[in-house]
């Protein structure tokens, strides 16, 4: 099969699907690394090692989920907002929020090993924090993301995710929102609603339930990249209903279980792409999972074009069968 250059559904971003470099799951086995035995600040009993609890969900034996400020925040709520705009070296104070969602008292459990009920609790916390942080007058975007594995930038193995609220809309999100609006004006419908409609019958289909569809996107930039998209048009996590939050938890668990059956303890990043709370842009929220199995080298960094050795059709087939 000849290699293909594929364009992203929305962006002017291209991937080279390099099937002549085809790799199988066994080729991606992560290198096993021993975790240094340290006193974990996220484990129960060590709460004095972290900033105070901002929000928590209690269980039978103490807290089940705990939200804290990051000890070394990228942005700080304590900063006074000031800006310097001279048309050349524009900058403003690093004001915002940087929170950590400690997802479980258990130190060693992976997210795919949690129950759907437990993951739904985590989604509940995401929703609650999104709404609260969005009410800050300085906040324009709330990023919800998770790093799993050292290759994905995770510094502590205790299960946790992060939330960063920024005083600007990040460039990638702005580009997606603008491209989505342009598609809507041109076609009088939503690009993501069209993706759901067309891809659920394609070779890139992975999983679905009542509320969500999981696919390997057409122009995947990494092997086994998977998107989990709401079937109902919802612009951000604040709009999810109770059953939809359960279904998001179900879809997330299902996809991560499938990935881990292919590659044990697969390193990945996931993040939610969504519109700001009070945005007039009628964007369509979705969660993207990017396994970290390849290295972006000189070509990718030079051009912004990604070489992917596993086609999304093959990746989806392997995930469906897992």
Residues marked active site are found at: 160
- Strand locations in 10-140, DSSP E? 14-17, 53-59, 62-69, 83-84, 91-92, 97-102
- Strand locations in the chain, DSSP E? 4-7, 14-17, 53-59, 62-69, 83-84, 91-92, 97-102, 141-148, 160-166, 205-208, 212-215, 226-230, 268-273, 286-291, 306-308
Q: Is 138 helix (H, G, I), strand (E, B) or coil?
A: coil
User: Cα separation of 273 and 112, whole Å?
Assistant: 21
User: Cα separation of 259 and 274, whole Å?
Assistant: 24
In which region does residue 122 sit, left (phi positive, over 0), alpha (psi from -120 to 50) or beta (all else)?
A: alpha
Q: How many CA atoms lie within 13 A of 270 on its CB side?
A: 20
Question: 254: which 2 tokens?
Answer: 């299902």
Helices 191-199, 171-187: crossing angle, 10 deg rounding: 80
Asked if residue 82 lies in contact with residue 92, where contact means CB atoms within 8 angstroms, the answer is yes
């Amino acid at each position: 099969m000849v290699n293909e250059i594929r364009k992203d559904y929305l962006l002017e971003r291209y991937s080279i699907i390099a099937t002549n470099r085809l790799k199988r799951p066994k080729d991606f086995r992560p290198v096993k690394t021993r975790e240094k035995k340290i006193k974990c600040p996220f484990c129960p009993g060590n709460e004095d090692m972290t900033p105070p609890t901002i929000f928590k969900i209690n269980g039978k034996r103490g807290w089940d989920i705990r939200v804290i400020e990051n000890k070394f925040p990228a942005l700080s709520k304590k900063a006074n907002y000031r800006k310097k705009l001279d048309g050349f070296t524009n900058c403003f104070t690093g004001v915002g929020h940087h929170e950590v969602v400690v997802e479980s008292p258990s130190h060693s459990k992976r997210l795919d090993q949690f129950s759907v009920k437990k993951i739904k609790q985590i989604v509940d916390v995401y929703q609650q924090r999104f709404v609260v942080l969005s009410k800050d007058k300085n906040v324009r975007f709330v990023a919800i993301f998770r790093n799993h594995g050292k290759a994905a930038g995770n510094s502590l193995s205790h299960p946790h995710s992060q939330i960063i609220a920024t005083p600007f809309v990040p460039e990638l999100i702005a580009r997606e929102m603008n491209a989505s609006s342009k598609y809507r004006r041109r076609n009088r419908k939503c690009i993501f609603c069209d993706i759901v409609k067309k891809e659920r019958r394609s070779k890139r289909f992975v999983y679905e339930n009542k509320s969500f569809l999981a696919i390997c996107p057409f122009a995947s930039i990494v092997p086994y990249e998977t998107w989990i998209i709401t079937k109902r048009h919802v612009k951000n996590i604040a709009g999810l209903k109770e059953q939809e939050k359960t279904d998001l938890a179900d879809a997330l668990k299902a996809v991560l279980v499938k990935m881990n059956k292919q590659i044990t303890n697969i390193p990945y990043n996931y993040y939610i792409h969504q519109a700001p709370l009070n945005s007039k842009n009628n964007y369509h929220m979705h969660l993207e999972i990017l396994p970290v199995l390849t290295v972006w080298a000189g070509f990718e960094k030079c051009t912004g074009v990604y070489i992917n050795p596993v086609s999304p059709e093959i990746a989806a087939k392997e995930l469906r069968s897992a």
